[in-house]
Structure 1
């Protein structure tokens, strides 16, 4: 099976908690549902999955999403509204398209669309895989 690009969306972001239990629908769930609906109309829907994640450990910067693919840098964005405007949703998918198109997944600030120009939490470099490790992985696959 070929690896897919993935947009992860934290579904516990902007939760309301009472006595250790989450109350109602979180902001992250709302954001995931909104992005998931629009994902169905996106030209890259077959190549770029959208997946929920229970926690991305950026609670003080919610709501969060990330873009990931083996061999590319992973980006983590925060401070997103749980209810993006139509233009902001289009901006998220535009930025994801740029990530998809770049061989290393680079997203320079000036090339990012709104709302992902602000709120960058991390750019994690792709792991370096040696030729020996790559050969071992292909044998076990």
Structure 2
């Protein structure tokens, strides 16, 4: 089986804010919640067309750990928040897998997890809208 993405699906980037503290003090172990979430997501297998990237800040501090997902000129971009490290890595991977399987980034409402339904911070139209 090839690790190449299907020819009709553009690459997807998952951007995880690694500076997130969830408006709390720095944990005693010195690892920010966003950094821990990124590391936990990285342990999971994602579709071949998905790349995980750490970003310095998504400027969404009041909504916990945040993740943005984007892909190509024809997909919608989303920003999701309120993820908890140590709990939500598989939830993120499942949501991103559904997103990556679409041509336009629009995962049907009923196929989205409850978390993705209730914690969408922003939805940005594609460049080729």
Q: Matches of 1:29 and 1:37 in 2, distance apart? A: 13
TM-score by length of 1: 0.72
Residue equivalent to 2:52 = 50
Q: Which has the higher helix share?
A: 1
Q: Matches of 2:56 and 2:35 in 1, distance apart? A: 10
Residue equivalent to 2:39 = 33
5 Å-filtered alignment, 1:64-79, equals: 64-70=66-72, 71-79=74-82
**Gaps spanning 5+ residues in structure 1: where?**
18-22, 130-141
Asked which structure has the greater CA Rg, the reply is 1
CA displacement at 1:8 relative to structure 2: 0.6
TM-score by length of 2: 0.78
Q: Matches of 1:6 and 1:128 in 2, distance apart? A: 18
Match of 2:127, SS state, is coil
Residue equivalent to 1:24 = 30
**Gaps spanning 5+ residues in structure 2: where?**
none
Instruction: Count the aligned residue pairs.
Output: 116
Residue equivalent to 1:7 = 14
CA displacement at 1:95 relative to structure 2: 1.5
Question: After TM superposition, which residue ranges in structure 1, 4 or more long, deviate above 3 angstroms?
Answer: none
Match of 2:118, SS state, is coil
Aligned-residue Cα RMSD (Å) equals: 2.2
